[in-house]
Structure 1
Amino acid sequence: MERLSGLDASFLYLETPAQLMHVCGVIVLDPSTMPDGYSYAAFRDELERRVRDVPEFTRKLRRVPMGIDHPVWVRDSHFDIDRHVHRLALPSPGGYAELVELTSHLAGLPLDRSAPLWEMWVIEGYQDDKVVVFSKMHHATVDGVSGSNLVSHLCSLEPDAGPMASSEPRPAGHEPGRAELFGRGLLGAMTRPLNAVKLVAPSTQLIAKTVGRARAGTAMAAPFSAPRTSFNGTITGHRAIALADMSLDDIRQIKNATATTVNDVVLAVAGGALRSYLEDRDELPSSSLLATVPVSVREQSQRSGGANKVSALFAKLGTDTEDPLERLRDLAERNRHAKEHHSAISADSLQDWAEFAAPRTFGLAVRAYAGLKLPELHPVVHNLVISNVPGPPVPLYFMGALIEALYPLGPVFHGAGLNVTVMSNNGRVHVGIIACRESMPDVEDLVRRFPAELTRLKAAVVAEAPVRRTRRSATKKTAKSASGAGSRGAAR
């Protein structure tokens, strides 16, 4: 038995039929590398063998009586792989359009909370000889980093090798009764006010420091300052998915030439893609779009429990700037301030405050928030979520099949019906976009602008290269002349 952290549990409380809190992935496989060839039965059996001793795949929820505390994880003694792994085939011609239509539908289906919170759909018939695995796992179970770590239980570095990580069987422990759950929950509820007092002073100091940074112009962008767009409102349960690829080498070349980071380049490309998308629809706001960027605090966290160890920073995407290179430079400078600001915040502050999310009250508040359409009445908190997840730099094999592409997909929220997640994989950067279908009906038009915007940014960097070389040369000559003059003066 393991109690959910407040942050993990919050993803359960945030969930409604329209606001689903699972993360998804579209994994495109080449089954020709499988040593014994592909068959669904063998694939399912090997998957069962690899997940059976991994708690994240075999535990389920138990609620605490009266909802006085967060739920607990218990081992599913009746774990059945067939409740989690399903087989489908694409209709002819089995191309990209058919794949995104099917995965969009699957992404809009909730997970069964009476079983471990994950599913995989093995989709055959993609581009004649490819197999696609569409995975779903609840955010209460994984964040970006822990989700990537879980993949290591299913993947190998060679087609016929074992998984990169293996789990030792853990004792299942006893199944808690209602009295034990209630007693533990009551004890937690009684000590919670004492913990709240400890958080007040650090939070007050943080607010004061933030005000100081805002006055100095070095604070990260503030929430509730985003302009309204067509995808910022109350969402439905329908989803639309679109996928694209970019060159990691191009991103690194731009990063090196401009002394920025990979994340800066990704955000600048996203800003340019969104700018052109909104401009073509006569919807471009005069001020920049604001993105929430999840940040892993796993290495800095002092908390041992909990699957989610994340925080977030807010980033303006420069959609109000036409020149791609100027957008990148401005964004990189703002990101430096945002990171400095974020580093001053305790890595565990979000997790600590999330402990006070009351199960019943939180859930009712979320439903009321959506039912009253409040996202359309108050200022926009943020326009979208953008995540950049580092992936494997070498080829990986999923059950022996070569991973050709891995597109991650995060949740969308009331008020921000668009999520963009990118992941590097063996020299490529895979872009996964998921949106509320009613908020953004033509998500395909947005995703195809990402590689186009990267090309545009790279061209701008290449065009400016001679200017940078000339400036560096002039600087060196000036420095040399000054040095020579100084030496002559000293000799005299």
Structure 2
Amino acid sequence: MDRLSGLDASFLYLETPEQLMHVCAALVLDPTTMPGGYSFESMQRLIAERVADVPFFRRKIKRVPLRLDHPVWVDDEHFEVHRHVHRMALPAPGGYRELVELAGHLASQPLDRSRPLWQMYVIEGFEDDKVVVFSKMHHATVDGVSGANLISHLCSLEADAPPLALGGGGEIARRPGDLELVGRAVVSTLAKPVQVVKLLAPTSQLITRSVGRARSGTAMAAPFTAPRTSFNGTITGHRTIGYADMSLADVKAIKQATGTTVNDVVLTVAGGALRSYLQERGELPESTLTATVPVSVRDHSARAGGANKVSALFAKLGTDIADPVERLTMMSAANKHAKEHHQAISADTLQDWAQFAAPRTFGLAVRAYAGFRLADRHPVVHNLVISNVPGPPVPLYFAGARIDALYPLGPVFHGAGINITVMSHAGDINVGIMACRESMPDVDDLVDRFPTQLEELRRLTVG
């Protein structure tokens, strides 16, 4: 059986009508490059051909009776691509404002768990001649890296070339009966005490080492120490979206001039944008904001299964530092400590402990947490999530249409109502922000500050 890993399943358990756990992306396409010309029917047909032999796109979840264990993946025997690839059109004038309003609405809708957990909306009429594909994939099925790999099944290096990934990927396991699922769940439950004992020793050693790092000043930022802002509290199910572009060449020039990294520069720019945004509203805290930064452990994990191969570190964003260069210097030093601290943690720690997430208990706890609005009361764990995903260095073609931009959009959580994700693409850095509409209704005011902050940092470091 192809059972979901505990980490993958946790994203199902975390989901509520307010806390939606899908990962989105907006692909801006030039349809004039499609062989034979663009039509929705031809794009839908080509997508259908390319996903036909990729198990991910046609598998769905099957619950274990009484939720005794994590769900399993089974084949959707009634899979039809028209249930997943839909056609829409922007209202006039078909610009940025109309696109982000529609995208925010689509991002606010949960995925249907009775079907494979993905949707694509082909949106016509953007800037007169562009097409936008807005995709949604549940976080239980993908992380940043695996999501990009799945999109590669639909992309190619030339308009008429075969896709970068050519189908395959294994067969979906047979559909188990309820009695078998219950039996396996009982065996799995009985084995958990032994598994816990095996994890206790390395976990206690990890805690001891982390305390030592904290005392020496070489630990990553600590959770529950972030200041409260207007976007740190209980969220609703309404989403708002914004996007912007930055020059990858400028980021690399700053990196070279200062001896830092691309990630250092990106986080410094984000810190500057957030500082400016909050300061203009009279909401800037005296202490720095803290971000959770997802980290891929795919190259270091010893676990064969599971779609999500991620860990995370906490990073101070230097929003209490006015000077951009000083903020970058701080960020570089802090990130080195955070990386060393993170590397000292087993790549599979999060996955191993997530195996013990009890389906029914976990779901009830999440709903109680939201219902009692606990995110408004306890110390702030983190202010937001920031992801930096490396993308393709050259232009790609989606179903024959050239990708002009690719804006990634990650989920938001109770207590942290904003997610910033950046992805490099063909010489640009595409910035996507998703936020709870009630927590940050003016997301454009934040995302528009990214290019400005980058330019200021470039001027001060490169000239």
Q: Which TM-score band applies after superposition, normalised by the shorter structure?
A: over 0.9
AA at the equivalent of 2:430: H
Aligned to 1:219: 219
Root-mean-square deviation (CA, aligned residues, Å) is 0.8
Aligned to 1:36: 36
Aligned to 1:326: 326
For residues 373 and 77 of structure 1, what CA distance do their matches in structure 2 show? 40
For residues 451 and 173 of structure 1, what CA distance do their matches in structure 2 show? 47
Please report how far the alpha carbon of residue 81 of structure 1 lies from its aligned counterpart in structure 2 after TM superposition.
0.7
The answer as to whether partners of 2:273 and 2:453 remain within 8 angstroms in 1 is yes
Aligned residue for 1:224, secondary structure, equals coil
Aligned to 2:204: 204
Q: What are the equivalent positions in structure 2 for 1:375-394 lying under 5 Å apart?
A: 375-394=375-394
Please report how far the alpha carbon of residue 77 of structure 1 lies from its aligned counterpart in structure 2 after TM superposition.
1.1
Q: What are the equivalent positions in structure 2 for 1:416-455 lying under 5 Å apart?
A: 416-455=416-455
The answer as to whether partners of 2:292 and 2:313 remain within 8 angstroms in 1 is yes
Please report how far the alpha carbon of residue 267 of structure 1 lies from its aligned counterpart in structure 2 after TM superposition.
0.2
AA at the equivalent of 2:357: A
Aligned residue for 1:244, secondary structure, equals strand
For residues 80 and 35 of structure 2, what CA distance do their matches in structure 1 show? 26
Write out per-residue CA displacement over residues 392-447 of structure 1, whole angstroms, 9 at most, x where no aligned residue. 00110000000000000000000000000000000000000000000001000000
The answer as to whether partners of 1:246 and 1:431 remain within 8 angstroms in 2 is yes
For residues 336 and 398 of structure 1, what CA distance do their matches in structure 2 show? 37
Aligned residue for 1:93, secondary structure, equals coil
Please report how far the alpha carbon of residue 233 of structure 1 lies from its aligned counterpart in structure 2 after TM superposition.
0.2
Aligned to 1:339: 339
Q: How many residues align?
A: 463
AA at the equivalent of 1:126: F
AA at the equivalent of 1:132: V
Aligned to 2:247: 247
Aligned to 2:148: 148
Please report how far the alpha carbon of residue 35 of structure 1 lies from its aligned counterpart in structure 2 after TM superposition.
1.2
Aligned residue for 1:113, secondary structure, equals coil
Write out per-residue CA displacement over residues 17-41 of structure 1, whole angstroms, 9 at most, x where no aligned residue. 0000000000000001111100001
Aligned residue for 1:379, secondary structure, equals coil
The answer as to whether partners of 2:55 and 2:168 remain within 8 angstroms in 1 is no
The answer as to whether partners of 2:55 and 2:169 remain within 8 angstroms in 1 is no
For residues 353 and 95 of structure 1, what CA distance do their matches in structure 2 show? 46
Q: What are the equivalent positions in structure 2 for 1:161-310 lying under 5 Å apart?
A: 161-168=161-168, 170-310=170-310
Aligned to 1:480: none
For residues 2 and 123 of structure 2, what CA distance do their matches in structure 1 show? 34
Please report how far the alpha carbon of residue 55 of structure 1 lies from its aligned counterpart in structure 2 after TM superposition.
1.3
Write out per-residue CA displacement over residues 54-83 of structure 1, whole angstroms, 9 at most, x where no aligned residue. 111110000001111100000111101111
Aligned residue for 2:462, secondary structure, equals helix
For residues 202 and 390 of structure 1, what CA distance do their matches in structure 2 show? 31
The answer as to whether partners of 1:53 and 1:170 remain within 8 angstroms in 2 is no
Please report how far the alpha carbon of residue 169 of structure 1 lies from its aligned counterpart in structure 2 after TM superposition.
7.6
AA at the equivalent of 1:382: H
Aligned residue for 2:27, secondary structure, equals strand
AA at the equivalent of 2:166: S
Write out per-residue CA displacement over residues 96-141 of structure 1, whole angstroms, 9 at most, x where no aligned residue. 0000000000000000000000000000000000000000000000
Aligned residue for 2:15, secondary structure, equals coil
Please report how far the alpha carbon of residue 168 of structure 1 lies from its aligned counterpart in structure 2 after TM superposition.
2.9
CA separation of 1:171 and 1:448: change in aligned 2, threshold 3 A: closer
Structure 1 unaligned segments of length 5 or more: list them: 464-492
Write out per-residue CA displacement over residues 204-224 of structure 1, whole angstroms, 9 at most, x where no aligned residue. 000100110011000000000
The answer as to whether partners of 1:412 and 1:418 remain within 8 angstroms in 2 is yes
Write out per-residue CA displacement over residues 252-296 of structure 1, whole angstroms, 9 at most, x where no aligned residue. 000011110000000000000000000000000000000000000
CA separation of 1:289 and 1:83: change in aligned 2, threshold 3 A: same
For residues 175 and 368 of structure 2, what CA distance do their matches in structure 1 show? 35
Write out per-residue CA displacement over residues 158-203 of structure 1, whole angstroms, 9 at most, x where no aligned residue. 0001101112385444321101111111111111111010000000
For residues 312 and 456 of structure 2, what CA distance do their matches in structure 1 show? 29
Aligned to 2:20: 20
AA at the equivalent of 2:141: T
Aligned residue for 1:413, secondary structure, equals coil
AA at the equivalent of 1:225: T
Q: Identity of paired residues, percent?
A: 70
AA at the equivalent of 2:75: R
For residues 55 and 328 of structure 2, what CA distance do their matches in structure 1 show? 42
AA at the equivalent of 2:367: R
CA separation of 1:386 and 1:122: change in aligned 2, threshold 3 A: same
Aligned to 1:487: none
CA separation of 1:169 and 1:218: change in aligned 2, threshold 3 A: closer
For residues 275 and 411 of structure 1, what CA distance do their matches in structure 2 show? 22
Aligned to 1:128: 128
The answer as to whether partners of 2:253 and 2:462 remain within 8 angstroms in 1 is no
CA separation of 1:194 and 1:169: change in aligned 2, threshold 3 A: closer
Please report how far the alpha carbon of residue 328 of structure 1 lies from its aligned counterpart in structure 2 after TM superposition.
0.4
Aligned to 2:363: 363
Aligned to 1:63: 63
The answer as to whether partners of 2:275 and 2:284 remain within 8 angstroms in 1 is yes
For residues 184 and 86 of structure 2, what CA distance do their matches in structure 1 show? 37
Aligned residue for 2:434, secondary structure, equals strand
Aligned to 1:316: 316
1:401 and 2:409 matched: no
Aligned residue for 1:77, secondary structure, equals coil
For residues 391 and 175 of structure 2, what CA distance do their matches in structure 1 show? 37
Larger radius of gyration: 1
AA at the equivalent of 1:161: A
For residues 174 and 150 of structure 1, what CA distance do their matches in structure 2 show? 22
Aligned residue for 1:153, secondary structure, equals helix
The answer as to whether partners of 1:90 and 1:124 remain within 8 angstroms in 2 is yes
The answer as to whether partners of 2:59 and 2:172 remain within 8 angstroms in 1 is no
